[in-house]
Amino acid sequence: MNAIDSKEVISTLNDLIETSKDGEEGFRTCAEDIKRPELKNLFSERAAECAKAAQELQAIVIRLGGDPEDSTSVSGDLHRRWVDLKSLVTGKDDEAILNECERGEDVAKRSYRKALDKALPEDIRQVVQRQYDGVLRNHDQVKMLRDAERARS
């Protein structure tokens, strides 16, 4: 498999930046709306991690001579993205909010998996793989919290 050209690498990274920005926004929204303080803290930390991931990818795009994405997705597909999460979680119970967070993390998993299926340069692949591992950890933790919340209710 030949390495993909830098334009495609930049495009792939910009998709991941968008995904990270969506995650940041989504986790911040969940943190605002969730009632339990320990979940508020967790989601605030996750939002910060997503922001850091986006910054790291933006720096690579700049290094490659590209124009880094700097906003969330404009896609209207709510099931694929975190966008407009606010209307979905406002006034909802913690389990419903955790469900939306898990759905958002499913999106991130798919985006990263798609990126890793491409022939990325090895140094960039390592960054994407490390971030993907974090996405998997987040997803599993959110799922565990959601299942625990479901068991409580």
What is the tens place of the pLDDT at every residue in 7-63? 999 999 999 998 998 888 888 888 888 888 989 999 999 999 999 999 999 999 999
Residue-wise DSSP of the chain: -PPPPHHHHHHHHHHHHHHHHHHHHHHHHHHHH---HHHHHHHHHHHHHHHHHHHHHHHHHHHTT-----S------TTTS-TTHHHHHTT--HHHHHHHHHHHHHHHHHHHHHHHTS---HHHHHHHHHHHHHHHHHHHHHHHHHHHHHHH-
Q: What is the mean pLDDT of residues 137-153?
A: 89
Predicted model pTM: 0.85
pLDDT at 105: 87
Q: What is the CATH number of the domain that holds 44?
A: 1.20.1260.10
Domain of 148 in residue numbering reads as: 6-152
- The C-alpha atoms of residue 58 and residue 67 are separated, in whole angstroms, by 8
Number of domains in the chain: 1
1 falls within a domain? no
Please say whether the beta carbons of 102 and 143 come within 8 A: yes
- What confidence category does residue 79 fall into, taking pLDDT thresholds of 50, 70 and 90? very low
80-125 pLDDT, tens digit per residue, is 455 455 556 666 788 888 888 888 888 899 999 999 999 999 999 9
- The C-alpha atoms of residue 77 and residue 82 are separated, in whole angstroms, by 9
144 falls within a domain? yes
116 falls within a domain? yes
